[in-house]
Structure 1
Amino acid sequence: MIPPLESVETRVHPWRDPLAVAAGLDRRDGALALLSDGGPLGRRSFVAADPDWIGGEGGLDQLRDPALSAGVIGLYAYDAGARPATGPRPAIWPDLMLARYPAMLTFDHQARTVSVTGRGVDAAAAAQAADRAEAWLTQAADLVPPPPPAAAMAPEAPPQAYLDAVADVVARIAAGELFQANIARAWSGGLHPGADPFDVMLRLAGRAAAYGAFWRLGDRALVSNSPELFLTFDPVDRRIETRPIKGTRPRHPDPARDAALAAELRASAKDRAENLMIVDLMRNDLSRVAEPGTVAAERLFEIESHPTVHHLVSTVTAAARAQTGVADLLAATFPPGSITGAPKHQAMKVIAAHEPPRGPWCGSLFHIADNGGLTASVLIRTASFERVEGRWRFRTLAGAGIVADSDPASELAETEVKILALREALIGA
């Protein structure tokens, strides 16, 4: 039985750089950094270490335990959600990783404050946890960008294989098998001896996204620079929100050309249709846990600009039915519709016909906060790491949504744009 942490102590301190604080903890087991860009979608960052409980083998039902209602981080791998459609496949990553953090730092980018939170079975234990978190603020490290931690990232299949996969999906769409599928390419490699996954996080610092993350558990680690929200859930007003991304253009150094690319994306009938398909899919997913009549597309086809790409983003909301919890939400909506396709079940079967297992990529990293609220990202722009015989190996992917009028060469080029930031973080320009 997991002991509940019913006592909480909170202290407020002046602002510190969350990445610098995370750098002081990066080699500790369980080191965690949820690093936002401080923008409207990522007001808060979180840093923690030393979880008091690690699990996940029991699946999503573990999240129904009241002892896991706050201070919990989880990683739900794509393949776990896809398996009902794909059938058994080799497991390259645990289906679900969970950890509970009695001590955590919350960085409010707008208020410029740091909240120290300690949780415990009683007031004394909560105070001790707060003391530990408070000490982390004094251990912040100087931020010195390291050299590229890897020499190469090798494609796991030649470009022609991706071109052929896109052409096959377009043919399946023409035959009426499905409307859209997200098809990805993978790259892998090894870090230099002595290099660490956190080096990649440091090298991404200038390209912060709303849902940046670093997480280390044992011989596994994750680095994510995701701009995409999968789900938020506020248990007080029961509001659920999802913000699927569909539609991409590269950034351009010339401001006029850059603005023209954004305008082109906003006006693109293909990209708007692709986005709308996923909006409809997410509306359907949310309806499984929503009060009837509350699912709504609040905003459609907004442009979000990031360091290397422009994205087309829509916002879907709903009011959750009474007694709906985190496990129910994830079970109803996972994997995210934006990285599967429509219809979702058939799209996942088609994806499996062209890709090996994805592992954590395009799964979700989620945080259950003090009030039981959920924030879950889509793990795009993400690299996973595994330590093998003392050296870190990495794997990363990039995909594109394939629709009826997709051009294979253009979709291949889109994957290169999407992988650019991680490529430069891993191996340099």
Structure 2
Amino acid sequence: MRAVALRAFAWADPLEVASAFADETHACVLLSGEGGWSYVLRHPRLTVRGEDPADLDCSGAELYAGGPPFQGGFVGLAAYELSAELEPTAPQARGDGPDLIVLCYPALLAFHAGERRAVAVGRGSDALMAKARADAALTWLDGPRCFARAGVLADHVACAVSDADHALAVADTVCRIAAGDLFQANLARPWRGRLAAGVTPFDLFRRLTRQSPAAYAAYLRLPGRALVSNSPEQFLSVRREGDALWAESQPIKGTRARGADPVSDAALAAELQASAKDQAENLMIVDLIRNDLARVCDPGTVSVPARAVLRSYANVHHLVSRVRGRLKTGATTWDAFCAAFPPGSVTGAPKLAAMSVIARHEPPRGPYCGSLFWLGLDGSMEASVLIRTVSLSENPAGWGFEARAGGGIVADSDPMSEVRETTAKIGAILNALTGAR
């Protein structure tokens, strides 16, 4: 698939376009809530389960100048438990789903919200095949659009771990930190339920992204399963600059709920920026990611261009940092992914010790705290951290789901404050399920 063809078309809302075939197996939407490029994909020509993408061809393909960053290639879902394959000593039980799924899409529709641009992209062994696939993707625009569903989307939803039990888990972790076992661990608790009759995972995705736009929103339909993510967090971005690949990660650590009015909202944001605890929490993860990237980057190139910068989202304020480095000659994009996986912001430090604490208090996470990524045929990558994410599975009664929310636990963490943080983080998902705004 080294040849590429692009065909421009009139702007359309990618969510409305995808609604025509969202229930189709392997339908995928990668949606940027920050005005950048979004992608709608279907009909992969290759599905790989549990195979190392390092064996897939990601070099030497053409890129159309001025086109979107992703011009066909692979979309992958890496479950948190993939860590047990990458690092055999990783202390984590295995889940019931595949640890890695990779889909190869030879065509896609790309939409730039800020510029109101839209193009169909086709890939092929030669220019004629690439053009034919781009033309075929244009026909996706002809499908009947589905209306957004109103009202309550969930028959039932409840937290599976009580406030008291989560507080005890936090207290246990604080004791382990005091004993010197680790510095920080990210603990989460699950909310579970089922969608109402007739409601689909795409109904949830559409409402969630409308109510709470996020930079790394994603929808992926799999056989008997679906993933709905509204993640604000970048795990890893890889781009070619000159003759080298550069990797960047933007970890989130430090959270406050949004205020009910502008005055209280600004006060909470200022409190977060001034918090020694949250600053220290962020710094620990920045150091961890620096060390992860240093394994595959040229010495002296790993830097921190920004640390603990305030970013505000629909329900919470966050502190976000940037860590970047130049990959060594011979190191691949997948090498960088594996070196940093699972994301340090959702494990802790040291990583293996933190994962041991997580395994003590949580069942297998599955997609939660794993990553959804696209991997271009030129070696570029964009990978999210799967937080603010709902995993759904189909059964005779309909669609069951689980969503988790957590936070970083450090030496001076207050158990009940950590309980409140999980409630704030799950808020957008619960609002979408219940129809609230």
Moved more, 120-129 or 379-388: 120-129
Amino acid at match of 1:360: P
Q: Are 2:361 and 1:365 equivalent residues in the alignment?
A: no
Task: Give every structure 1 segment of 4 or more consecutive aligned residues whose post-TM-superposition deviation is greater than 6 Å.
Answer: none
Moved more, 57-66 or 209-218: 57-66
Partners of 2:60 and 2:378 in 1: CA distance: 13
State which of 338, 350, 368 in structure 2 corresponds to 1:343.
Answer: 350
Structure 1 position 90, deviation (Å): 3.6
* Matched residue, 1:124: 128
Q: 3-state SS of the aligned residue for 1:19?
A: helix
Are the aligned partners of 2:53 and 2:102 in contact in 1 as well (CA < 8 Å)? no
Partners of 2:434 and 2:370 in 1: CA distance: 24
Cα 1:334–1:140, aligned 2, differ >3 Å: closer, same or farther? farther
Structure 1 position 208, deviation (Å): 1.0
Correspondence 1:175-324 to 2 at 5 A: 175-204=179-208, 205-237=210-242, 238-324=245-331
Partners of 2:370 and 2:331 in 1: CA distance: 21
Structure 1 position 368, deviation (Å): 1.4
Cα 1:186–1:116, aligned 2, differ >3 Å: closer, same or farther? same
Q: Are 2:151 and 1:155 equivalent residues in the alignment?
A: no
Once the two structures are superposed, what CA deviation does each residue of 1:242-267 show, in whole Å capped at 9, x if it has no partner?
A: 00000011112311111111111111
Partners of 2:163 and 2:57 in 1: CA distance: 44
State which of 54, 58, 77 in structure 1 corresponds to 2:47.
Answer: 54
Amino acid at match of 2:13: D
Partners of 2:312 and 2:92 in 1: CA distance: 38
Amino acid at match of 2:322: T
Partners of 1:216 and 1:12 in 2: CA distance: 26
Partners of 2:349 and 2:137 in 1: CA distance: 44
Structure 1 position 125, deviation (Å): 2.7
Moved more, 94-103 or 382-391: 382-391
Q: Are 2:101 and 1:97 equivalent residues in the alignment?
A: yes
Cα 1:280–1:87, aligned 2, differ >3 Å: closer, same or farther? closer
Cα 1:88–1:260, aligned 2, differ >3 Å: closer, same or farther? closer
Q: 3-state SS of the aligned residue for 2:12?
A: coil
Partners of 1:304 and 1:239 in 2: CA distance: 24
Partners of 2:365 and 2:226 in 1: CA distance: 15
Are the aligned partners of 1:77 and 1:96 in contact in 2 as well (CA < 8 Å)? yes
Q: 3-state SS of the aligned residue for 1:234?
A: strand
Q: 3-state SS of the aligned residue for 2:352?
A: helix
Amino acid at match of 1:219: G
Moved more, 403-412 or 365-374: 365-374
Partners of 1:253 and 1:192 in 2: CA distance: 30
Q: Are 2:74 and 1:72 equivalent residues in the alignment?
A: yes
Q: 3-state SS of the aligned residue for 2:26?
A: coil
Query: Is there any run of 5+ residues in structure 2 with no aligned partner, and where?
Result: 62-70
Partners of 2:206 and 2:334 in 1: CA distance: 33
Partners of 1:339 and 1:391 in 2: CA distance: 30
Percent of residue pairs identical:
47
CA RMSD of aligned residues (A): 1.9
**Number of matched pairs:** 422
Partners of 2:12 and 2:259 in 1: CA distance: 33
* Matched residue, 2:67: none
Partners of 1:64 and 1:112 in 2: CA distance: 32
State which of 81, 84, 89 in structure 1 corresponds to 2:83.
Answer: 81
Query: Is there any run of 5+ residues in structure 1 with no aligned partner, and where?
Result: none
Cα 1:62–1:220, aligned 2, differ >3 Å: closer, same or farther? farther
Are the aligned partners of 1:74 and 1:366 in contact in 2 as well (CA < 8 Å)? yes
Amino acid at match of 1:139: G
Q: Are 2:358 and 1:378 equivalent residues in the alignment?
A: no
Are the aligned partners of 2:84 and 2:92 in contact in 1 as well (CA < 8 Å)? no
Are the aligned partners of 1:212 and 1:224 in contact in 2 as well (CA < 8 Å)? yes
Partners of 1:105 and 1:290 in 2: CA distance: 33
* Matched residue, 1:134: 138
Q: Are 2:3 and 1:7 equivalent residues in the alignment?
A: yes
Cα 1:120–1:64, aligned 2, differ >3 Å: closer, same or farther? closer
Q: 3-state SS of the aligned residue for 1:91?
A: coil
Amino acid at match of 2:349: A
Partners of 1:140 and 1:44 in 2: CA distance: 23
Moved more, 68-77 or 367-376: 68-77
Partners of 1:25 and 1:133 in 2: CA distance: 13
Are the aligned partners of 2:255 and 2:317 in contact in 1 as well (CA < 8 Å)? yes
Partners of 1:14 and 1:70 in 2: CA distance: 20
Are the aligned partners of 1:119 and 1:130 in contact in 2 as well (CA < 8 Å)? yes
Are the aligned partners of 1:183 and 1:402 in contact in 2 as well (CA < 8 Å)? yes
Cα 1:63–1:279, aligned 2, differ >3 Å: closer, same or farther? farther
Amino acid at match of 2:45: D
Q: 3-state SS of the aligned residue for 1:262?
A: helix
Once the two structures are superposed, what CA deviation does each residue of 1:347-377 show, in whole Å capped at 9, x if it has no partner?
A: 0011101110000000000011353210000
Partners of 2:92 and 2:270 in 1: CA distance: 43
Structure 1 position 140, deviation (Å): 6.3
